[in-house]
Structure formats: C-alpha cells, structure tokens
Amino acid sequence: MEFSELIRTSRAQAELLRGPEMPPLRGTLYVTGHHLLLSPAPQTTTDLWLLLLRSVDSIEKRVAGDSGTITLRCKDLRVLQLDIEGVEATLDIARSIEALSSLESVITSFPFFYRPKGLRLGDAWHFHPPESYYKRIARETNAWRLSEANEDFSLCPSYPRAVIVPRAVDDQTLARSARFRQGGRCPVLSYYYAPSGTVLLRSSQPLTGPQKRRCREDELLLRAVLAGARPEARGFILDTRSAQEAKQARITGGGTEAKAAYPGWKRLHRPLERGRPLQESFVCLVEACGDPEQSMDHWLSRLEGCCWLAHVKEVLSTACLAAQGMEREGACILVHGAEGTDSTLLVTSLTQLILDPMTRTMAGFQELVEREWIQAGHPFQLRCAHSAFSHAHPKHEAPTFLLFLDCVWQLSRQFPLSLEFGEGLLLVLFEHAYASPFGTFLCNSEKERCLCEVRTRTHSLWSGLNQPKEQRKLRNPLYVPNPLAIWPSVEPQSLRLWQGLFLRWTHPPEPSEVAGGKVWQIVTEREKTGDSQPTASTSEPQP
Amino acid sequence: MEHIRTTKVEQVKLLDRFSTSNKSLTGTLYLTATHLLFIDAHQKETWILHHHIASVEKLALTTSGCPLVIQCKNFRIVHFIVPRERDCHDIYNSLLQLSKQAKYEDLYAFSYNPKQNDSERRQGWKLIDLAEEYKRMGLPNSNWQLSDANREYKVCETYPRELYVPRIASKPIIVGSSKFRSKGRFPVLSYYHQEKEAAICRCSQPLSGFSARCLEDEHLLQAISKANPVNHYMYVMDTRPKLNAMANRAAGKGYENEDNYSNIRFQFVGIENIHVMRSSLQKLLEVSGARGLSVNDFYSGLESSGWLRHIKAVMDAAIFLAKAIMVESASVLVHCSDGWDRTSQVCSLGSLLLDSYYRTIKGFMVLIEKDWISFGHKFSERCGHLDGDPKEVSPVFTQFLECVWHLTEQFPQDFEFNEAFLLQIHEHIHSCQFGNFLGNYQKEREELKLEEKTYSLWPFLFDDQKKYLNPFYSSRSQRFAVLEPNTVSFNFKFWRTMYHQFDRTLHPRQSVFNLIMNMSEQNKQLEEDIKDLESKIKQRKNKQTDGILTKELLHSVHPESPPLKTSLCFKEQSLLPVNDALRTIEGSNTADNRYSEYADEFSKPEPAVVSLEYGVARMTC
C-alpha cells in the first residue's frame, strides 16, 4: 500500500497552538506517511516541529470562513490546535491524518522506517533477555529448569520461547497443563525470592468449565512447585477476580482451582478492575483533568467518580499482599485472573518492585518491563490502540500498563530515594507504549514480533533510552540503593493523583519537578566538588 | 496536682489506628502535672501535653481492658487500652480536669522554665519588634503617621497601642469612626507597599444597619484613598458571603453603602464564618480518621467537608487583594464582622504574596506577630486554651497555615522555611508553653504580664532554624517579587503531614529534605576544604620557590582532606538533626499497613517488631 494514496493534501499554511505555556508556531504544515511536520516561517528561529501520526488519538475539524481548525488530541494526553488556511486544505489534511493515524498494519508502521543516527539495528535487542534471568534462577535453585517446549510457540502463543518450570516437570506434563489453561498459559516462574526461597508464579485461569474438570498434570506441576521450594511450603493462589466472577467463568469454560485438587494451595480472591471499566475510568479522569474552570466540589466528586485512585489502591495492596506472603510467610504465590495477561502482570511486576532492590535500578526496571510485560505477552497493540480521547467504542483497549506506571510512581513518591529512575522514565514508557518510533512495544506477543521480524527490522527503545544524553531526564538524582523491601502505604491519604502525567499539558509542573533543577544542581555540585578534591591533592608538586 | 489520683499505670496498650488490627505496643503510662507520658517496651517515649488534649473518651469495656481515646489539637489521636477500669476512670477524670484550665495562670507557660535567665528572656521577647517592621515598610512617611489615639487602649481595646493612620486623619475623625465600627475597630494600616505606595488597611464592619451613616468614617476612608498618590479609588473588601453581611444589617451592623463613600469599590469575597469552618474541619477529621477508609469515601468526604473549598476561598481573597495593589496600585480596606478572623487571614496572606520578606523565617514571625497577635486574633478563644465557650473555637489560624503550605507547594523555591516550621508553629499555638499566643488581645496580654512571666516562642524557633530551612530556597534579590498562585481546583490537596502528622505510616518513608540539606551542607564544607587546600598549595609553592620544603607541610595537607568515599556515603548524617516533626523511616514493615482483610489469612504469630531504626542505620552508610 502506498501512503501517498491516503495523503490528499500534503501541505498547507498553518498556525499551531500548543497550550497556554508555549508560544504559537506559524509555518508550513506537511503531511507525510508517518508524520505531521511544521516548518516554521524562515525568519523565526524555532526548530522544525514534528508529530508522529500514530500518536493522534482523536481528531476534530471545524471550518469557518476561508480557514479551518483541526484539534488533535494525542495519546500522550496533549491537545494541539492547528489553524489552517483554506477550507479545502483543512478538510483534506484532517482526512489524511485520520486515515494515516489509524493504520493497523504493523510492518508499515514507523518503527520499520526509523533509522536514528548513532544506533545500529539489532543492537540492544538482547539488552535484557529474560532467558538470562531464568538461567540464573535455574542455576541458583536447582529446582527449576529452562524449557524449550515453547520454542515454536506451540505450547502457548503468548509466552516467549523460553519458559521456566519446575525441574521435576517434563515437557509432556507441561504441554498437558498448558492445554488445561486458557491460551496455553500454564504456571511459570515469574520471580524467585532468594531470602525465603519462595517463588512467584503466573498463569491464566484453569479451564475447569461447568463440569469442574481437573487436570492431573496441572496439579502435579503446582505440587512440584511447593516441593521444590522447601519442605512443607505453603502456597497461595491469588485470583484477581472476585469469587463470584471466578465461579461465573465456569460457564464459558474457565474457572478456578478447586480446593481439593491442589493440596497445600489456598485460594484468595482480590478483585481488580480490568478491561472496559478500567478504560472508562481512565477516560473519566482525563476528562476531569481537562477542565480547569470547575469548582472544588465538582473536581473532588469527579476524582472520586472516576475511581482511578481506587484502582491504584487495589492493585498496590494486592501486590503488597503477594509480597507479604512471600517475605513474611515464606509462601509460594501463583497469580492469575482470566487470561493472565493484564491484572496478573500488574501484580507480579509490582511485587518484584516491592521486594527486589535490583528491579529498582535503571537497568533492572527495564529488564522487569521487558520480562514481565513485553515478553510475558501483555497485548500492547490491542490495549494501547487508543488512549483516553478516542471516540471509538473501546474493544480491547485498557490502560493496564499505565496503571502499572502509576503504581510505580506512587512507590517513587513514598520512597523518593529508593528508585534509580525518576518520573521521566515512567512518562517516556507511557508515551512509547501508545505510540513510538521504536519497535519495543509493537505487537501483542513474542510470536507476533517474531513473525514481523521486529527485532531485526526496528530499533529497541532500550537502546534509545540508554544513550548518555537521555540519562539526565530519566534518572533520579537522589538515588541511594536501598537493600530493604519497600512497603508502601495504601491509605487514601497517602495516594496522590499523578499530576505529572494527567495534568502534564494543562498545568504547570509539580513543585517537585520545578525543584528538580535545583536538586540536580546540588547533586552535580557535590559531584564536582567531590571530583575536584583528588585533583587538588594530585596537583601537588612532587618534591 | 489535686486532680491526679493515679500517676502510673502499667501494662497499658497503645494501638496504632492505621496498622493491622492486632498490632499494639505495651508499656507504662505516667501522668504528670503537665504531660501524659507513655513509655513502651522499647523505651520509646510518647509525650502528650495536657493542653493539647481536645477530647478524652472512655469507650465500652472490652475483654482486654478499658479503651481510652485521646484526641489532640495537633491532630494526634491515641488509643490506649488500660487493663483495669478503675485506673482508666482515674486517668480519664484527671485528664478531663487537666486539659481544661479555668485561669490563664494555670497554663503551662507560667511554669515552663527553659533554663534561661531573665535578661535572656527579655532579649527573647525583643526578637520580633513591630516598630522596626513599620520602619522597614517605610513608615512613617508623608502620607502615613503613627497615631497615639489608642495609646491607652481608650479607642479600641482589642487593637495594639501603636497604629498607623493617614496623616490627614485627625483624632476626632478616628474616634468618630471607631464609634461607627463594631468593637471600635476603625480602619488602620496593616501593610504599606512602598513601591506602589498603596496600603492594606483593616477594620471591622460598620454599624450601618439599613441606613445609618457616619461622616467621620466616610472621611477616614477618604483619607485612606487620598494617602495613595497613584490611585484615587480604593477597594473595600468584605470577606463575608453577601448573605451573611446583609443579615448583619438587621442587627444594626452591615457593610458600606457605596453611595455614601466617595471613590470606593465594594467587593464581597465570600469566606464562611468560624462556625462553618469549625464544623468543616470536624467533618474532615471524621473522614480522614475513619478505619478502613476507601479511596472513594475519602474523596467524597473531602468534598462534603468543604474544607478545601474554604481554603481556596481564603486564597482567592488574598489574590484579589494582591492584584488590586500590584495591578491597580489601589489601596484596599479589608473587613469581615469583627475584623479579627477572616480579616487577619486575608491581610496576612495578601502581604505574604506581595512582600518576599514575609517568606523568610524571621519575616513570617513578624507577619504572625503583626496581623494575628497584635491586631487581636483571639488565640485563646479560637484555640480553646481555657475552659470556655466551645462555639468560640475555630481553626482560623490553621487555615492560614494551610494556605501558606499550599503556597510553599506551588512555589518551592520562594520560601526560606519548610513544612516543619509551619507544623511547629501550629503545635505551639495550642501548647500554651510559650506566652506568645496566650490571651486574646494585646491589652489582655499586658495585664497578664506575659513578658515577665513567660517566654517567647520565636527565639527558640530562631535558634533551631536549621531544622526549618528549605533547601530549595533561592532568595530573589527583589523584595517585591509577587507570587501569583494558581487556584485551579487541581492545586488543592489534602495536607497529610498536618492532619496525620503522628500517623507515621502514612508518610513517605524517606525524606528528600534531609538528604538535600545534608548535601548542600557538605557541598559547602567541601568547597571550603578546597579553598583551604588551594591556599595551602599556593603557600607551599611560594615556599618551594624559596627553596624551603618541610615535611610538616605535607602532613598539614593530608589529614585535612577528608576521605571522599565516606563523605559520599552520607556518613555525616549528624550535620542536621533529623526532624522530629517529620520522622521518616525507610523500608518499614508490612504490619504497618493494612493491605487487606485477607492479611489475616497469613495467620502466623507476628515476629518481634522489625526495628525500623535499624533500616535507617543501614541506609545511612
């Protein structure tokens, strides 16, 4: 397909308004296959303005007289306004943006064309291979092994090639267990907590169905998990649905583990919101944040009504519960909901952040996102097809990953010195999950990424982020490694709206960010004075 | 002393209201003449000043003992379980007596002795000098002068002796006007803006009723607008809601009729009265103190309490005032009913926005001393220092502090002080430990001989100021750098550190402030070391050229350079005292938080409490 067919008018004179804080920009507007660019009039000194068309969430056009206005609402929650000369040009450009921003084909998307200077294709794709993490665990524990049963994605299409399973379980047992789990997502290791020798597992729901079917191999697998941990280890199954929902799932072939079938395992239900209601909550919140004129009462009641912070609280406290089980009780934890690709991942990834100091480093966090979200088969393409502004009826969209980032942000507020990365990294991940020139968040699973040859034909976000010039934006200047678990408070008084994200474009930055510059100054001053000291002493003339 | 029957009770349990239900500390409870003291098994002490106690409640007997719930004015809530009901009853009765004193002389300030001699104490009271402050504003000048009308408190009992009024306002005009104003509180100057030559003035409501007028009062207002050479009109801000002001007319009070006063622009700004504020705070505390509070209940409670709406109203009024002066160079007269609550809020906040001096530690003390203490904000009644009318109690000053906190949040680099400073002041308006906030107006304070019998708070805060410094502060050179806060609703947040100051588990477990303070301190130190070393090198080079090289010089250089590694690891944490008011704990343990009712599922006996201090110790090196 040729992009040129979709571009009705490729250029027009326009003025761009980017919110109250930024000056308007005048110049020539161009529509290309992947971008909208505005080349400022020659006398101005401002640089070229560029917008990835993929990041346009909704578009609204209005014409009056012989000019028109296009309002672009972006997936990163920015609202842009383009005043364009000429009615025809306005309509044509609007139609072109509409068509180009909603293209579904992956292999014609921009990451396949993006060739930034300084990066080589295929460079950092193996920057954080989950295999190396799994291999380390297999080596350390002796109770786990890396299985190649999913080498051709036949076991489970949404799992990566390498999965880590109990050593005592052979590939055949594994295959049978996979057949008993929705989408083939049999229980696999997500995290090994060395201090107590316990593990965190994730899977999808068992397909018990209305007849309450059982699967011997699945039971065997979970028994092997407990046996491998330590004698008389206990296990908890954290079902992220309510008991009622889990029961109802039987009608459609799903269900939950029967108590009698899994001795040593106890089931807990912690209902977490997912899917459509979560997306609606996101939309409501963004809507409320877009209205600076509202009264205090109205704002507070909308903040309450959207329930976003209630979801944050639920997710965080469920993760804390899982972490508590591992740390305090020495229990193994299996987390699943229905498909095991959304709320399950929220819980498993946050649990690790709470318990494991490594995941709070820059590299460790990237590894966590890669392993627990991208490789674990969170369907980014479906979930992040649209953000909060889209008028399209949501089908598969849900801000699960954003909810994860928000929870991480809450942790960073409560433990401001314990995370090596700052708010900047979380914002970048949010933006790139929804629209990115990099290939990292493309597709829904490793299988799809292999089919599209994402690894060889696009650049990895991680290599983009790990360039030295990006670091200052992403790092927490005050980071001090904290070897302890970080237990957040989940009381409503302790949770806050993430202004840096939800009010980023409509509202001056948070004080912490304003003061951020000062913090960097103090920290670098200190590095400077620290550095110059040895030089002062080495510059001593030798007698 | 006669109120204390039991001085010591053992095996008392202290419950933490935000922890898992079964977690408690056991210890001994002591009752002294001034404090209630709880010492737990880890020798940790919890001191509660009797004057801080707002209410004591004895709940129904349980199997483990008799619960005693104490709510404090600094928003601490403690929940004891006393094993024997009789002990509980004794303590309960004693506290009821001790927390409500009938006479000023029985308050703590009159017995508090911080080991200072008389001259130190007198020096302390002189730290904040309002005469000096008016001089700083540039007064007296050609338009404003010091009036001696109230020198003997004859015109207005609740005003200070020294008042600034327009030069052209004669004494008969002042006296005439005071008769037309509620409680005799005639218009006087509160702040003079030297650059704009405009003034903030304050007074109480006029006794206008439906039609009464007073020529002297009209003259006085005219004199105020004439004292402003730039702008001929002035604003009159009635800080009450219009409806309240109209209702007052029926009682022979009311507001200025624009037709009778030339060149005034009249404006209502709609801040609610002390009773509304009191019940609003009451609701807020009920919500935030609820057990097992959900996010939605919290926000709907926050909304229905109206607290943040009131805070915003006060802030908006102050902004209106600051704008009138900055943009229009117009003088502003502020009043409410009696002119000591809302008027104090708006005048002081307005001055804070206009003048950067009030954003320093010393300046903020001056501001409180001027607009609150000297102009007769009724601290003793509003804070309930004595056993008096509960309807007079209202968190007016707390609201002022909260507005200032919101400003510090929006302008993190513009305030010399930090949050702990505000909390400390709040602590002491209720503590009755110092003389500053006792009494309701200056005359009463003089009669109580506070300066002779008690100590002033300010020098103590001032000596301790290291604790209260804001590391991000960058003093702008301009004195009149005006703050223009944005009052969109998003900007108003629940002030957790105030209302949950003592619920340690709700706060961030690590303090950026302390770390940054230490860092800048060390930076300074290192820079000095560098200078020191450089000068030594220079010295040595000089000597070398002289051909002299001694061993002792080498020695003098080396021991001085501190090993870089240790300084990078924040070994010198002791540079700054960790702030008591904002205790920060790293790591923490799971039992501090209520993650879910399912936590009961993990039903093993609790291990001994993990030492949180241990976590800090590990972190600091």
Q: List pLDDT tens digits, range A365-384.
A: 999 999 999 999 999 999 99
| CB atoms B602 and A329 under 8 Å | yes
A327 and B CB contact within 8 Å: yes
| CB atoms B590 and A415 under 8 Å | no
CA–CA dist B20, A283 (Å, integer):
35
- Type of residue at A529: T
Span of A43-47, A225-229, B99-103 with lowest mean pLDDT? A43-47
pLDDT above 90 coverage of chain A, percent? 62
CB atoms within 10 A of CB B286: 11
pLDDT at B202 over 70: yes
Interface test with A, best of B287, B510, B620 (most A CBs within 10 A): B510
Q: pLDDT, tens digit, for every residue of B27-78?
A: 999 999 999 999 998 888 999 999 999 999 999 988 889 999 999 999 999 9
Which of A484, A512, A522 lies at the smallest CB-CB distance from B520?
A522
pLDDT at B327 over 60: yes
Record the pTM.
Answer: 0.89
| CB atoms A514 and B587 under 8 Å | no
pLDDT bin (cut points 50, 70, 90) of residue A132 is: confident
| CB atoms A488 and B593 under 8 Å | yes
Q: pLDDT, tens digit, for every residue of A291-301?
A: 889 999 999 99
Q: pLDDT, tens digit, for every residue of B532-542?
A: 999 988 888 88
Residue of A nearest to B18 (CA): A491
For chain B positions 531-590, those within 8 Å of chain A (CB to CB) are 533-534, 537, 540-541, 544, 549, 557-558, 561, 564, 567-568, 570, 586-590
Q: pLDDT, tens digit, for every residue of B464-511?
A: 998 999 988 887 667 788 999 999 999 999 999 999 999 888 888 887
For chain A positions 237-276, those within 8 Å of chain B (CB to CB) are 266, 268, 270
Interface test with A, best of B590, B609, B618, B620 (most A CBs within 10 A): B590
Which of B299, B412, B599 lies at the smallest CB-CB distance from A514?
B412
Written as six digits, the tokens of B322 are 């600051």
Instruction: Supply the pLDDT for residue A179.
Output: 95
Question: To 10 degrees, the CA torsion angle through B475, B477, B480, B486?
Answer: -50
Span of A226-230, B22-26, B426-430, B525-529 with lowest mean pLDDT? B22-26
The SS3 of residue A233 is: coil
Instruction: Supply the pLDDT for residue B551.
Output: 47
A66 and B CB contact within 8 Å: no
| CB atoms B298 and A493 under 8 Å | yes
Question: To 10 degrees, the CA torsion angle through B366, B370, B374, B376?
Answer: -120
Which of B533, B549, B590 lies at the smallest CB-CB distance from A543?
B549
Contacts of B414 in chain A (CB under 8 A): none
pLDDT bin (cut points 50, 70, 90) of residue A528 is: low
B413 and A CB contact within 8 Å: yes
- Report the relative pairing of strands B35-40 and B45-49 from DSSP bridges: antiparallel
Query: Is position B336 annotated as part of the catalytic site?
Result: yes
Question: Mean per-residue pLDDT for A283-292?
Answer: 92
CA–CA dist B238, B333 (Å, integer):
9
Instruction: Reply yes or no: is the peptide bond before residue B140 cis, omega within 30 of 0.
Output: yes
pLDDT at A168 over 80: yes
Measure B229 CA to nearest chain A CA, in Å: 36
Look over chain A and give the mean of its residue pLDDT values, rounded to a whole number: 88
| Beta-carbon contacts of residue B370 (< 8 Å; ≥ 6 apart) | B130, B133, B190, B348
pLDDT bin (cut points 50, 70, 90) of residue B591 is: low
| CB atoms B508 and A413 under 8 Å | yes
Question: To 10 degrees, the CA torsion angle through B560, B564, B568, B574?
Answer: -20
CA–CA dist B559, A537 (Å, integer):
11
pLDDT at B543 over 80: no
Which of A325, A511, A519 lies at the smallest CB-CB distance from B516?
A519
Residue of A nearest to B558 (CA): A537
pLDDT at B582 over 50: no
pLDDT at B556 over 90: no
**First-to-last C-alpha distance (Å) of chain B:** 48
Instruction: Supply the pLDDT for residue B506.
Output: 87
Look over chain B and give the mean of its residue pLDDT values, rounded to a whole number: 86
pLDDT at B92 over 50: yes
Residue of A nearest to B411 (CA): A511
pLDDT at A399 over 90: yes
Instruction: Supply the pLDDT for residue B25.
Output: 86
| Beta-carbon contacts of residue A390 (< 8 Å; ≥ 6 apart) | A57, A58, A397
CA–CA dist A539, B526 (Å, integer):
17
Of the residues B156, B201, B214, B336, which is catalytic? B336
Instruction: Supply the pLDDT for residue B575.
Output: 28
pLDDT at B561 over 70: no
Contacts of B292 in chain A (CB under 8 A): none
Interface test with B, best of A533, A538, A542 (most B CBs within 10 A): A533
Written as six digits, the tokens of B411 are 């302008």
Instruction: Supply the pLDDT for residue B474.
Output: 83
Instruction: Supply the pLDDT for residue A225.
Output: 93
- Highest mean pLDDT of the ranges A84-88, A154-158, B540-544, B565-569: A154-158
pLDDT at A144 over 60: yes
Interface test with B, best of A356, A487, A498, A506 (most B CBs within 10 A): A487
Position of tokens 């106690």? B53
B316 and A CB contact within 8 Å: no
Instruction: Supply the pLDDT for residue A125.
Output: 65
Q: Do residues A197 and A142 make contact, with C-beta atoms less than 8 angstroms apart?
A: no
H or E stretch including A462?
helix A461-465
Written as six digits, the tokens of A345 are 């991942």
Strand order in the sheet with B77-82: B45-49, B35-40, B24-31, B8-15, B77-82, B66-72, B53-58
Helix locations, A392-510, DSSP H: 400-414, 423-434, 446-451, 454-457, 461-465, 468-474, 499-502
Helix locations, B235-329, DSSP H: 242-249, 274-288, 295-305, 307-328
Quickly count helices (H) and strands (E) in chain A: 19, 14
Strand partners for B81: B13, B67
B489 and A CB contact within 8 Å: yes
Q: pLDDT, tens digit, for every residue of A319-343?
A: 999 999 999 889 999 999 999 999 9
Residue of A nearest to B570 (CA): A480
The SS3 of residue B55 is: strand
CA–CA dist A58, B300 (Å, integer):
32
H or E stretch including A78?
none
Interface test with A, best of B296, B309, B528, B534 (most A CBs within 10 A): B296
Instruction: Supply the pLDDT for residue A4.
Output: 74
Burial of B73 (0-12, 13-18, 19+ CB in 10 A): buried
CA–CA dist A98, A54 (Å, integer):
10
Which of A317, A532, A539 lies at the smallest CB-CB distance from B596?
A317
Pairs of residues, one from chain A and one from chain B, whose beta carbons lie less than 8 Å apart: 221
Instruction: Supply the pLDDT for residue B197.
Output: 94
B519 and A CB contact within 8 Å: yes
Question: Mean per-residue pLDDT for B200-229?
Answer: 94
Instruction: Supply the pLDDT for residue B614.
Output: 30
A512 and B CB contact within 8 Å: yes
Span of A269-273, A470-474, A537-541, B352-356 with lowest mean pLDDT? A537-541
Strand partners for B438: none
For chain A positions 392-431, those within 8 Å of chain B (CB to CB) are 413-418
CA–CA dist A191, A393 (Å, integer):
36
Measure A491 CA to nearest chain B CA, in Å: 7
For chain A positions 466-505, those within 8 Å of chain B (CB to CB) are 478, 480, 482-497, 499, 503
The angle subtended at Cα A315 by Cα A311 and Cα A316, nearest 5°, is 115
Contacts of B412 in chain A (CB under 8 A): 511-512, 514-515
Instruction: Supply the pLDDT for residue A230.
Output: 79
| Beta-carbon contacts of residue B607 (< 8 Å; ≥ 6 apart) | none
| CB atoms B530 and A532 under 8 Å | yes
Measure A472 CA to nearest chain B CA, in Å: 18
Which of A313, A320, A483 lies at the smallest CB-CB distance from B295?
A313
Question: Mean per-residue pLDDT for B318-324?
Answer: 97
| Beta-carbon contacts of residue B414 (< 8 Å; ≥ 6 apart) | B356, B359, B407, B408, B473, B476, B481, B483
Residue of A nearest to B541 (CA): A541
The angle subtended at Cα B170 by Cα B165 and Cα B174, nearest 5°, is 65
A543 and B CB contact within 8 Å: yes
Contacts of A539 in chain B (CB under 8 A): 537
Instruction: Supply the pLDDT for residue A138.
Output: 87
The SS3 of residue B203 is: strand
pLDDT bin (cut points 50, 70, 90) of residue B546 is: low
pLDDT at B273 over 80: yes
Written as six digits, the tokens of B426 are 């709040």
Instruction: Supply the pLDDT for residue B165.
Output: 96
Instruction: Supply the pLDDT for residue B554.
Output: 43
pLDDT bin (cut points 50, 70, 90) of residue B607 is: very low
Q: Higher pLDDT residue, A62 or B516?
A: A62
| CB atoms A318 and B596 under 8 Å | yes
B516 and A CB contact within 8 Å: yes
Distances (CA, A) of B71 to A10, B16, B251, B396, B548: 69, 13, 37, 19, 73
Instruction: Supply the pLDDT for residue B475.
Output: 75
Position of tokens 């001696």? B148
Position of tokens 């972490």? A323
H or E stretch including B66?
strand B66-72
CA atoms within 13 A on the CB side of B391: 0
Provide the sign of the torsion angle of the four alpha carbons B300, B304, B310, B316, taken in this order. positive
Measure A151 CA to nearest chain B CA, in Å: 38
A284 and B CB contact within 8 Å: no
Measure B169 CA to nearest chain A CA, in Å: 43
B270 and A CB contact within 8 Å: no
Concatenating the DSSP letter of every residue in A160-179 gives: -S-EEEETTS-HHHHHHHHH
H or E stretch including B562?
none
